Amino acid sequence: MTDNELKRKRIAVEMAPRKKHQKDKPTFSDPTALVTFVIGPSDNSTTFLVHKEPVFNKSEVFAAAFSSNFTEGQTQTFKIEDTTKAAFRFLAELESGKSLTDAEWDIVFAEDQALAETWVLADKFCLPTLQNLVIDYMSNIAAQRLSARTRIFKYVYEHTAKNSALRRFCILSVATYHNQASFKRAWARFPQKMLIEFGAFMLDRAGDVIDEEMCYAYTLKAWDGSQWELGSHLVR
């Protein structure tokens, strides 16, 4: 190949479009290494020692923090003040691939709040697989109880975004396990936004079919400044 041909080839290579390479996600492999999580407010916190490998490899947020030059990377300690120790314990164990013990299942079965908190925590740290697993657990528990756990609705609607999977699960569980009588008994536990979203869901589910002879229009009325009352009137 002549010098001119080499020159033309080099120019062609230099002018060709360059491939964009995604920055590789940090990886870590050392089954014995531990990191520290401090959970809860500073005046009432709990410390957990967790194997670094599963946490590092499954969460880009944690991976970036523990490999950074910031406090988390230098101390290998991560503080989370706005969650509970029950939620973090479930997150750490499920992310490490462990199955819940019978005692932990008893806690989950008795306290749906812990699972809702775990879903919110997983959402914050970009762990969609864990979020789906939590909803699977909640679905199985609802199926065993044949009921929707209305006491978690307020927490869910205060800590999740519109159209989140956890909100959709709550609405679907009410539609599945509540009849007219149980809904009337429990509606006061529903946040206002959930009542609206539930009504929209049921209309969509019914195909927007309206009986012209008897249609009930539901209205939300403020009662006692803080609670909500579901009233209805017959529309002729």
Domain spans, the chain: 32-81, 84-95+108-223
Residue 232, pLDDT above cutoff 70: no
Own/partner pairs for 57-64, CB < 8 Å, 24+ apart? 57/27, 57/28, 57/29, 58/95, 58/127, 58/129, 59/95, 59/125, 59/126, 59/127, 60/25, 60/126, 61/125, 61/126, 62/125, 63/25, 63/26, 63/27, 63/28, 64/26
pLDDT at 111: 66
pLDDT of residue 225: 41
pLDDT in the model for residue 192: 92
Structure tokens at 149: 């756990």
Mind listing the pLDDT tens digit for each residue in 85-95?
989 988 888 77
Tokens 């006061």 -> residue: 188
* 152, amino acid identity: I
Q: First-to-last CA distance in the chain?
A: 92
Q: How confident is the model at residue 170 (pLDDT cuts 50, 70, 90)?
A: very high
Say yes or no to pLDDT of 147 above 80. yes
